[in-house]
Structure formats: structure tokens, C-alpha cells
């Protein structure tokens, strides 16, 4: 038995004493896919013909070396990141990452044919695919609105784009046999006081109806709507606010996407999980780390991320809360950023699965409230790290600290050569 196995055996006993079966927790963990956003790889640039700046309220800062210049390099980087992240994975794509082979294909012209090579890649890498429309970085979005624009020409362009993206999502789901979450986030909104809020929201509602009018099997594609508090340039009005999308999702059987950077800094997504689950088909998570604002810093294993995972597990909702990441930091090694964020999320999920829930719940039911809080506190010093490292090794992925050397090696061998 090597050291890590020994440590695991010790930890297993400790957890057993508080009613937790670590083997079962790891078995569960090994079945929950994490959706990893591809856009950390290249600062949300994509490989379209156009070189229009990001816009839409999105911003990356930093210029770390070795940014991939084509799809092959991006995939190479994702593959490297995947070797550092244990368990089943999905790659979350945007249309700007289509395989256009140097051709100019506008957003209202894209189709499954531009994503065939991604399906091949996903099959080879045993991954699922999630998808989104890309409404930013395009001249048709200069006015700040897309699918809710008052100009019919503009909104129809984006509705067509969004419909095609949904068709592509269905294609991903059917070819891979893994449900694709089709997540719609649009930047629609205004910098300053707007009188036509109701008008824009009515237009958006109808646009969504149109986008979702085609029926696809839910085993292939599940639709999700991502709300936002505000964006750069849309500080005063965001059409797709939480209230708007929640109501739409509840009425139309859609998922809500909670991006942890899209709320007031003191507002907790963890408390929203159990609040919306009774009414919604499910939740998609974009785990991000906002610092003072929606800054999209690399996700870490914060108290809130742990609490989110605990709420999912406590609600028995691991089957209908879809876990994904969303951050873009171009100031540090991008592969390292992916690994930190994804590993943090999986670690937090493991902590949740290792919660001595039966003991704590019993205290709660008996009204022993000091004991409930006491056990919650005591569980923080349980040897979860030993279980995590064991899980990494069993999944063929380097343990904590060891993965860092892998990234440095890749930086020297691949990024420095680009």
C-alpha cells in the first residue's frame, strides 16, 4: 500500500465513525460530469473570420504567453487540462469555436456541419458537449440589444442564430448520446435609464418562444436561460434579469442558469438552489468568482462554492443541477487556470458528498441545534484531502501539488514554443 492509500484508509475509518461511506461518495462523484467552458483557453476570442473586439460587457485582462492560435492548439490545451481534472467531463462550446476552415460563415449561417470535428474530438476524449449562442463581438450587436431589439431585422438575425445553435445542440446530443445543455445568455440591455423596459421584455419573451418553437427530444437538448444583474455598458437595464428568466423558465419548462458572478456581491446562489428546484426542470451552474463585480476570476474552493454543492446534495438534486465553470483569466497560465477552477469545483462537490448528513440531520430533527452547528463545524476538519488525493490517483490524475509541475512542463514544452 502506498502512502496515499494508507492515508485514505485512515480517512475512510474516520468518516465511517460519523456515518459516511467514502467509497460510496467517490462512486457518486465519479458519475457526475463537470462542464468545462472552452473559452478560458483563448480569452473568449474564438476562431471566426471577424476580429471585432469582445464587447457585450465581457472583458478579459492579461496577455499570458502561448494563447492558442487555432482550433488544434486550443484542443491540445483542453486535452492537457483534462488530464489534470478527474472524472467525467463535458466541454462547453460557443459558435465562435466552430470549425469554419478559414471561410466566412456569419452567425445566421452556422450549422451542425461546422461542429462535426468537435463531435469527433468529444468522442475521442469521452466528453459531452454543452452549447450557447454567441451574440457578442458582432456588428449586429452594436446597439446593445440582440433578440430583444426593436428593429426586426436585427432581432431576426439573432433569433435565427439562436435557433441554429439549438439545432446544433440537438446534433451534439444525438451524436454523443449525452444531453447537451443549450444555455442562452444575451447581453441585451442599456447603459442608462430606459423607458421601454416592458417593450423589450415583451419582445424578448416572443423571441424566446420562437427560438424554442422546434421540438427536440429532451434527451438530446435541455434549454437553459442565464440571468445577469448588469454588464459593462448595461448598468441601468438588463432585459434578461433573474426575475424575467425565472418566470419564463417556470412557465415553459426550462432550466435557469445561475452564474455566481451575476448577482449582488452579498447575494448567495447557494440559497437559490432549494428555492427554485420545486418549480423548475433543473439548474445549470456557471461557477465563476466575481471580485467586486462580475470579474470572472478563476473559481476557487470558497465557502460559497462548497455551500452550493452541499445544497445540491442535500436536496438530492445531483441529477438535475448541471455543474459547469465560467471564468476567463488571461493573466496567468490558461491551462493552470482551468485546472484550478475545475479541481476546486470537484473538491467542493466531494466535500458535500462527504458531509456527515445523517448525523447532522438527526440533530436537527431532534432540535439539538448546538449539536447541529457543532457537527457542521467539526466536519470542516475531517480528512477530506486524503479522500480527494486518492480519488485523483484512482482517476489517473495527479494529486494536489503534483499537478502544478505538469502545467509548468507543458508551459515550457508547448506554450513557450508557440
Interface with ligand RNT (CB under 6 A): 39, 44, 58, 132, 185, 226, 228, 259, 286, 326
- Residue showing the smallest CB distance to ligand RNT in the complex: 185
The site map against Zn ion for 46-75 (x = CB under 5 A) is: ------------------------------
Rounded to a whole number of angstroms, the minimum distance from the CB of residue 213 to ligand RNT is 23
Cβ proximity to ligand RNT: between 39 and 248 the closer is 39
Spell 86-112 as b/e; 16+ CB within 10 A means b: bbbbbbbbbbbbbbbeeeebebeebeb
Closest distance between ligand RNT and the C-beta of residue 182, in Å? 12
Output the smallest distance, CB 86 to Zn ion, in A.
Answer: 23
- Compare residues 272 and 286 and give the one whose CB is closer to Zn ion: 286
Our CB check for ligand RNT shows the closer of 38 and 159 to be 38
CA distances from 200 to 99, 193, 209, 289 (A): 34, 13, 14, 29
Between 223 and 355, name the residue whose CB sits nearer to ligand RNT. 223
C-beta pairs of 290-297 under 8 Å, 24+ apart in sequence: 290/260, 290/261, 290/262, 290/265, 292/265, 293/261, 293/265, 294/228, 294/229, 294/230, 294/231, 294/259, 294/261, 294/262, 295/261, 296/58, 296/60, 296/261, 296/326, 296/327, 296/328, 296/329, 297/327, 297/329
For ligand RNT, which is the closer residue by CB, 185 or 403? 185
DSSP letter, residue 418: -
CA dihedral 97→100→103→109, nearest 10 degrees, is -80
45 makes contact, choosing from ligand RNT, Zn ion, none, with CB < 5 to 8 Å by partner type, with none
**Among candidates 99, 106, 98, which has minimal Cα distance to 52?**
106
Q: How far is the CB of 236 from ligand RNT (least distance, A)?
A: 17
Nearer to Zn ion, 114 or 286 (CB): 286
Which residue, 173, 190, 189, is CA-closest to 181?
173
48 binds, among ligand RNT, Zn ion, none (CB under 5 to 8 A by kind): none
**3-state DSSP helix/strand/coil % of the chain, to nearest 5:** 50, 15, 40
Residue 226 to residue 245: CA distance in whole angstroms: 7
Binding at 44: pick from Zn ion, ligand RNT, none (beta carbon under 5-8 Å per type): ligand RNT
Q: Which three cell numbers stand for residue 180?
A: 447537451
Cell of 156: 431576426
Nearest distance, CB of residue 362 and ligand RNT, angstroms: 40
Q: Which is nearer to Zn ion, 296 or 307 (CB)?
A: 296
> Residues with catalytic annotation?
185, 226, 228, 259, 262, 286, 294, 296, 326
- The entry of Zn ion, ligand RNT, none that residue 60 binds, CB within 5 to 8 Å by partner kind: none
Q: How many residues does the chain have?
A: 418
132: partner contacted, choices Zn ion, ligand RNT, none (Cβ within 5-8 A by kind): ligand RNT
Q: Which is nearer to ligand RNT, 42 or 259 (CB)?
A: 259
Name the minimum Å distance from CB 183 to Zn ion.
Answer: 8
- Residue 270 CA to residue 305 CA, distance in Å, equals 8
DSSP strand pairing (221-226 vs 180-184): parallel
Decide: 81 and 411 in contact? Cβ < 8 Å: no
Q: How far is the CB of 35 from ligand RNT (least distance, A)?
A: 11
Which residues within the stretch 250-309 sit at the binding site for Zn ion (CB under 5 A)? 259, 286
Distance CA 182, CA 220 (A): 10
Using rule CB under 5 A, residue 326 touches Zn ion:
yes
Report the partner that residue 42 touches, choosing among Zn ion, ligand RNT, none (CB closer than 5 to 8 A by kind): none
Q: How far out from the chain centre does Cα 238 lie? A: 21
Closest distance to ligand RNT from the beta carbon of 70 (Å): 19
Pick from Zn ion, ligand RNT, none: which does 223 bind, CB < 5 to 8 A by kind?
A: none
Contact footprint for Zn ion (CB under 5 A): 259, 286, 326
Amino acid at each position: 500500500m502506498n502512502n496515499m492509500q494508507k492515508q485514505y484508509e485512515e480517512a475512510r475509518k474516520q468518516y465511517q465513525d460519523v456515518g459516511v461511506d467514502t467509497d460510496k461518495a467517490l462512486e457518486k462523484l465519479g458519475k457526475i460530469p463537470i462542464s468545462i467552458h472552452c473559452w478560458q483557453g483563448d480569452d473568449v476570442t474564438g476562431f471566426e473570420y471577424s476580429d471585432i473586439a469582445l464587447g457585450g460587457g465581457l472583458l478579459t485582462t492579461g496577455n499570458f504567453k502561448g494563447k492558442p492560435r487555432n482550433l488544434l492548439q486550443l484542443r491540445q490545451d483542453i486535452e492537457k487540462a483534462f488530464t489534470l481534472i478527474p472524472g467525467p467531463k463535458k466541454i462547453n462550446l460557443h459558435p465562435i469555436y466552430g470549425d469554419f476552415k478559414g471561410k466566412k460563415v456569419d452567425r445566421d449561417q452556422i450549422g451542425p456541419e461546422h461542429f462535426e470535428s468537435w463531435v469527433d474530438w468529444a468522442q475521442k476524449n469521452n466528453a459531452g458537449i454543452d452549447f450557447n449562442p454567441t451574440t457578442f463581438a458582432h456588428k449586429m450587436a452594436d446597439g446593445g440589444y440582440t433578440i430583444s431589439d426593436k428593429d426586426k431585422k436585427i432581432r431576426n438575425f439573432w433569433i435565427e442564430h439562436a435557433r441554429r445553435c439549438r439545432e446544433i445542440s440537438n446534433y451534439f446530443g444525438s451524436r454523443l448520446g449525452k444531453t447537451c445543455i443549450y444555455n442562452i445568455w444575451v447581453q441585451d440591455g442599456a447603459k442608462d435609464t430606459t423607458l421601454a423596459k416592458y417593450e423589450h421584455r415583451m419582445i424578448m419573451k416572443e423571441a424566446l418562444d420562437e427560438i424554442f418553437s422546434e421540438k427536440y427530444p429532451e434527451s438530446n437538448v435541455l434549454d437553459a436561460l442565464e440571468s445577469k444583474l448588469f454588464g459593462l455598458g448595461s448598468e441601468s437595464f438588463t432585459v434578461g434579469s433573474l426575475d424575467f428568466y425565472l418566470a419564463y423558465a417556470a412557465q415553459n419548462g426550462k432550466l435557469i442558469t445561475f452564474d455566481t458572478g451575476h448577482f449582488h456581491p452579498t447575494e448567495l446562489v447557494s440559497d437559490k438552489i432549494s428555492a427554485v428546484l420545486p418549480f423548475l426542470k433543473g439548474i445549470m451552474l456557471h461557477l465563476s468568482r466575481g471580485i467586486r463585480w462580475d470579474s470572472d476570476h478563476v473559481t476557487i474552493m470558497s465557502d460559497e462554492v462548497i455551500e452550493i454543492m452541499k445544497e445540491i446534495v442535500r436536496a438530492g438534486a445531483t441529477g438535475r443541477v448541471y455543474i459547469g465553470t465560467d471564468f476567463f483569466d488571461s493573466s496567468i497560465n490558461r491551462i493552470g487556470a482551468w485546472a484550478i477552477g475545475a479541481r476546486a469545483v470537484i473538491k467542493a462537490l466531494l466535500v458535500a458528498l462527504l458531509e456527515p448528513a445523517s448525523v447532522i440531520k438527526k440533530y436537527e430533527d431532534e432540535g439539538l441545534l448546538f449539536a447541529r452547528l457543532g457537527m457542521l463545524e467539526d466536519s470542516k476538519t475531517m480528512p477530506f484531502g486524503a479522500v480527494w488525493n486518492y480519488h485523483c490517483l484512482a482517476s489517473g490524475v495527479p494529486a494536489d501539488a503534483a499537478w502544478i509541475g505538469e502545467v509548468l512542463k507543458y508551459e515550457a514544452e508547448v506554450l513557450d514554443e508557440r
